[in-house]
Structure 1
Amino acid sequence: MKITIITAVYNREATIGAALASLHAQTHAHIEHLIIDGGSTDGTLAILRAAATRADTTLVSEPDHGIYDALNKGLARATGDVIGILHSDDEFADPQVLADVAAAFAASPTDAVYGDLDYVAADGSGRIIRHWRSGPYSRSRLARGWMPPHPALFIRKPVIDRHGGYDTRLRIAADYDAILRWFTRGHVAPAYVPRVLVRMRVGGESNRSLERIIRKSREDLEALRQNKVGGLSALAWKNLSKLPQFLRR
């Protein structure tokens, strides 16, 4: 199984090296890495050019219209059987992650595999701030605001080819919209790998200000409605379900 990993990056000199190292340490043999850089102006591009000397890595560096536009560029170039995302502030939890994902696909006819995610401190200490335990999937949970962590989701390419990538009209919640679309219109019944697959540094785009939090809620509601999954009650449950993530495991 060939797994394509897409990394969208812009001016992440401080974190991109750790993200790349976590990918290069993977034991799974068949990986395609597509790096879509938005035209970084710090030291990021030098790090990326060094990584792009690997035979399995392709680097594209040019202006884009945000992270979802960059991810769509990656999707258009992807040739793998399965697609995953590695953000420039994230790391795979250990070298066995992609091997376990491939094994989960091989064990069942599923079109998607997902796992758990740890939010860790931005200082690189690895201190866990939140633990996102996804739990098993059921269609009814979507209407209660459930979703798998986007960075810990791997999906077969034909699903994306049939049902589309990221809606760039949505500036913050295009990943939520895409997941709802793949799971509903694509009738995906994903397999759950009950362990942490990805560590994400805190400080994401959606929570940087009250204005962005409000915008994200509006976009989440739009995604729920246009995919005919739910409305305000699903949005409320989605936000409330995050509270247990702050409790110790």
Structure 2
Amino acid sequence: MYNSLPKISIVTPSYNQGEFLEETILSVLNQKYPNLEYIIVDGGSTDNSVEIIRKYESKLTWWISEPDNGQAEAINKGIERATGDIIAFMNSDDTYIQGSLFAAGHYFASHPEARWICGHGLMLGLPERPPAFLEVRVPNNLLEVLFKNFVAFSPASFWKREVFHRYGKFSTSYHYCFDVDFYARLLSNGVACVPLNYPISSYRLHPGSKTIAFTDSFDKEILAIREKHITNISSWRIQLEIVKQRCRGAEHHLYNAISLWRSGNISGGLKALLQTLTFSPMGVIFQIFRWFLRVTMRTTKIQKN
């Protein structure tokens, strides 16, 4: 039974994430996947990361600790070393959910035509809230990728190795959104993302995570990626999506601002709020109106009961 499972190579890029790294490593090793190759690429950490890596050295296929130019370059180093049929990367502050590698391996074994799959996820670290279930919603076309109208985050994704050989690895021009650029490249070349109905990984929000700490940098890179790939999309569809995107973006930024505020990071929350107002003042008004309607409807329902 296990002989038919494809070899999976997991690459973990890491830099000064000693607080979370061991949990990440164990989430990979404890999968007990029989045909696993695990690679860790550390960017020359100055905390206890290397000590943690050495603790599990005998169970790793390869690891290195040396300065690099960011996450994309670190992952690319791992991909160059990888020999698996399937390749994925797991950030050093995220974790795999038990059984996820078997779910991915079985899917590829029974669907040899698939080249890119993505499963569900969990978001951890939300202040005063339990883990949030992130149901995968794969991008079906280039427009959905460029305007972030999808839920398919990278730690829940797996790709056939041939995809990297044919279409290239992650672009080191982007520090935060290299995965979005990669998605756009794949969809432009007819590589579809297949949704996997299985929870794959947990995504952790914390003050040092890129999603919270570098929201403005994300926006700048998304705009650059959009300019790079958008030439073949009709203008009316672009304008419509821009309006929808600004409303979604405002909701995302407001959510970050509230999360930072609740966690006690008042200055970070105010900064995120200012970024939201700069990004889309009309989007903020729209989201406040939506929230007002929700509260009104709930209040009306309670009064009727």
TM-score, length of structure 2 as denominator length: 0.70
2:82 paired with 1:78 = yes
2: CA distance between counterparts of 1:46 and 1:236?
Answer: 49
Written as runs of structure 1 = structure 2, the 5 A alignment for 1:206-221 is 206-208=211-213, 212-221=214-223
Q: Quick one: which of 22, 27, 50 aligns to 1:22?
A: 27
* Structure 2, unpaired ranges of 5+: 1-5, 256-305
- Deviation (angstroms), 1:144: 5.2
- Measured after TM superposition, the shift of residue 188 of structure 1 is 1.2
Output one character per residue of 1:220-249: Cα deviation in whole Å (capped at 9) or x when no partner.
1222332237657546645618959x8xxx
1:148-227 equivalences in 2 (<5 Å): 148-185=152-189, 187-203=190-206, 204-208=209-213, 212-227=214-229
Structure 1 segment 97-108 matched on structure 2, within 5 A: 97-108=100-111
Q: Distance in 1 between matches of 2:108 and 2:149?
A: 22
Tell me, yes or no, if the aligned pair for 1:82 and 1:154 is still in contact at 8 Å: yes
Q: Does 1:3 align with 2:8?
A: yes
Residues in 1 aligned to 2:137 and 2:75: alpha-carbon distance in whole angstroms: 26
Aligned counterparts of 1:242 and 1:85: Cα–Cα separation in 2: 29
Percent sequence identity over aligned pairs: 24
Q: CA deviation at 1:69?
A: 1.4
Higher RCO structure (Cα 8 Å, ≥6 apart): 1
For residue 174 of structure 2, give the secondary structure of its aligned residue in structure 1: coil
2: CA distance, partners of 1:242 / 1:26: 38
| Normalised TM-score (structure 1) | 0.85
Match of 2:135 in 1: 133
CA contact (8 A) 2:21 2:49 kept: yes
Q: Which amino acid in the other structure matches residue 197 of structure 2?
A: P
| Contact 2:119/2:156 (8 A) holds in 1 | yes
CA distance in 2, matches of 1:3, 1:180: 24
Report the number of matched residues.
237
Mapped to 1, the partners of 2:34 and 2:51 lie a distance apart of 26
Equivalent residues of 1:144, 1:233 under 8 A apart: no
Alpha-carbon distance in 2 for matches of 1:235, 1:21:
41
**Deviation beyond 6 Å, 4+ runs, structure 1:** none
Give the superposition deviation at 1:35: 0.3
Secondary structure, counterpart of 1:161 in structure 2: helix
CA contact (8 A) 1:10 1:38 kept: yes
1:31 to 20, 36, 42: 36
Aligned-pair CA distance for 1:155: 0.6
Query: What is the aligned-residue RMSD (CA, Å)?
Result: 2.6
How far off its partner does 1:183 sit?
A: 2.3
Give the Cα separation in 2 of the matches to 1:79 and 1:242.
42
Structure showing greater radius of gyration is 2
Give 1:218 shift: 2.1
Change (3 A) 1:36 1:197: same
- Which residue is equivalent to 1:145? 148
- State the match for 2:69 in structure 1: 65
Larger proportion of helix: 2
